[in-house]
Amino acid sequence: MKIGVPRAFAYYAYYPFIITFFEELGLEVVVSDPTSKEIIDAGVEDAVAEACVPLKLYHGHVKNLMDRVDYVFVPRLVRVNQEATFCPKFLGLPDILVCTVENFDNMLEVRVDIRNSGKKLFQLCRLVAKKFNRGFLKTWKAFKKAEESYRKYREEFLKGAIPPLGIGVQDDKADVRLGVVGYPYLLYDPYVSLDIINKLIKMGVYVVTPEMVPEEVKKKYAGKLKKTLFWTFSNSVLRTAFHFLETGMVDGIIHVTAFGCGPDFIVDKIIELEAKERNVPFLTVTFDEHTGQEGVNTRLEAFIDMLKRKKAKEAILV
Ligand code: SF4
């Protein structure tokens, strides 16, 4: 039995758990190919024109898998904590795909509404495992292994590594420390983000992303806004940005966003205004399926150059 996992959306946040769980159940896991022009083109062909690029990409990854596996795993991410849901694109993902991808009849839809409860997560795993006739003990062992795998993944980030991009612990003595905030399915997809993180590291930057900030630290900034945002990943991005701004731990912030992203209209503006108030350099980089390398490279080089000059000037004044 082969189970396909699209390399998009929830994949980048949770793949160690997902893959380990299915493998420990004794299923063969097939992850869709890394994003390429063919995958983007296939996605653009089916998705509605006004969809954000990550949603278009999801279509392409599903099409890359559906004919070579028994099931394609499509999580409907609703809530993983008590305070927020995911963006409506996540909530409606299985319905969207049924309507847009022709002959997609092997979807394994799983509704994820666990609200910080390990018990609920295990119950969900039980439901999935039952579809494949796996018993309680096998499911429990697979669940524990998946949890362990996810824990290690998170620990790697906290040490300064970026595992989805294969980046090990970064050099702490880099010239510039930069907060790079954005959704994991954009930041860690090197094709669609034009490999922005690796580019920055090659320019001598130490990159800090939202996944490298402990959850309990992010939670401290929950009260910074009068109202919590509705969306889980947006809260993570915004709280990380607040953490960077309030602690002064980075020399500047780059917000990586997708063209057509509804939540980011709000998130981007808030970060921009807060950074301006504290005089912290801030740059927004927006990606869609047409974004070209040259324009992004020029903007990044200019931004890093400006940060280095600013640091040098401040060093002289001290
Ligand atoms: S948060 Fe933005 S980029 Fe992510 S799925 Fe929703 S609209 Fe798309």
Count of structural domains within the chain = 2
Q: Which residue, among 86, 88, 102, has the nearest Cα to 50 in the 3D structure?
A: 88
Q: Any long-range contacts for 45-49 (C-beta under 8 Å, 24+ apart)?
A: 46/100, 46/101, 46/102, 47/100, 48/100
- Do 40 and 122 belong to one domain? yes
Q: Which of 50, 52, 59, 193 to mutate to test the pocket of ligand 1 (most atoms within 8 A of CB)?
A: 52
- Confirm or reject: Cβ of 203 under 6 Å from ligand 1: no
Q: Which residue, among 216, 10, 234, 246, has the nearest Cα to 111 in the 3D structure?
A: 10
- Confirm or reject: Cβ of 52 under 6 Å from ligand 1: yes
Q: From first to last of its 318 residues, what are the pLDDT tens digits of the chain?
A: 999 999 999 999 999 999 999 999 999 999 999 999 999 999 999 999 889 999 999 999 999 999 999 999 999 999 999 999 999 999 999 999 999 999 999 999 999 999 999 999 999 999 999 999 999 999 999 999 999 999 999 999 999 999 999 999 998 888 899 999 999 999 999 999 999 999 999 999 999 999 999 999 999 999 888 788 899 999 999 999 999 999 999 999 999 999 989 999 999 999 999 999 999 999 999 998 888 888 999 999 999 999 999 988 888 877
pLDDT, residue 69, reads 98
pLDDT, residue 189, reads 97
- Kindly report the backbone phi and psi dihedral angles of residue 178, in degrees, each rounded to the nearest multiple of 5, phi listed first: -125, 130
- Do 102 and 180 belong to one domain? no
C-alpha of residue 231 to centroid of ligand 1, in Å = 10
pLDDT, residue 290, reads 81
Question: Model pTM?
Answer: 0.96
- Do 278 and 178 belong to one domain? yes
Answer with the one of 157, 172, 191 that is the final residue of a domain: 157
- Do 89 and 168 belong to one domain? no
What is the residue type of 246?
Answer: E
Cα distance between residue 11 and residue 1, in whole Å: 20
- Do 132 and 194 belong to one domain? no
pLDDT, residue 86, reads 97
pLDDT, residue 146, reads 98
For residue 117, the number of C-alpha atoms closer than 13 Å in the C-beta half-sphere is: 12
- Confirm or reject: Cβ of 92 under 6 Å from ligand 1: no
Answer with the one of 157, 185, 219 that is the final residue of a domain: 157
- Confirm or reject: Cβ of 26 under 6 Å from ligand 1: no
Question: What CATH number does the domain containing 80 carry?
Answer: 3.40.50
Cα distance between residue 39 and residue 22, in whole Å: 24
C-alpha of residue 261 to centroid of ligand 1, in Å = 5
- Confirm or reject: Cβ of 89 under 6 Å from ligand 1: yes
SS3 170: coil
Q: Which of 87, 91, 234, 255 to mutate to test the pocket of ligand 1 (most atoms within 8 A of CB)?
A: 87
- Do 200 and 298 belong to one domain? yes
- Do 146 and 189 belong to one domain? no
Q: Which of 183, 231, 232, 238 to mutate to test the pocket of ligand 1 (most atoms within 8 A of CB)?
A: 183
- Do 150 and 184 belong to one domain? no
SS3 129: helix
* CB-based contacts of 294, cutoff 8 Å, min separation 6: none
C-alpha of residue 85 to centroid of ligand 1, in Å = 12
Measured CA to CA in angstroms, residue 145 lies from 16, 129, 239, 247 at distances of: 10, 14, 30, 36
Answer with the one of 123, 157, 191 that is the final residue of a domain: 157
pLDDT, residue 223, reads 87
What is the residue type of 315?
Answer: A
Cα distance between residue 254 and residue 277, in whole Å: 16
- Do 62 and 21 belong to one domain? yes
- Confirm or reject: Cβ of 183 under 6 Å from ligand 1: yes
Question: What CATH number does the domain containing 175 carry?
Answer: 3.40.50.11900
Cα distance between residue 208 and residue 162, in whole Å: 9
* CB-based contacts of 48, cutoff 8 Å, min separation 6: 100
201 is in which domain, residue-wise?
A: 163-317
Token reading at 144: 């524990």
Contact 8, 64 (CB under 8 A): no
Provide the pairing of β-strand 28-31 with 282-287.
Answer: unpaired
* CB-based contacts of 143, cutoff 8 Å, min separation 6: 21, 121, 122, 125
- Do 130 and 174 belong to one domain? no
Q: Which of 9, 233, 261 to mutate to test the pocket of ligand 1 (most atoms within 8 A of CB)?
A: 261
Atom of ligand 1 nearest to the CA of 260: 7
Cα distance between residue 164 and residue 161, in whole Å: 9
Contact 75, 112 (CB under 8 A): yes
Cα distance between residue 205 and residue 59, in whole Å: 33
- Do 286 and 228 belong to one domain? yes
- Confirm or reject: Cβ of 87 under 6 Å from ligand 1: yes
- Do 167 and 152 belong to one domain? no
Spacing of C-alpha 171 from chain mean position: 23
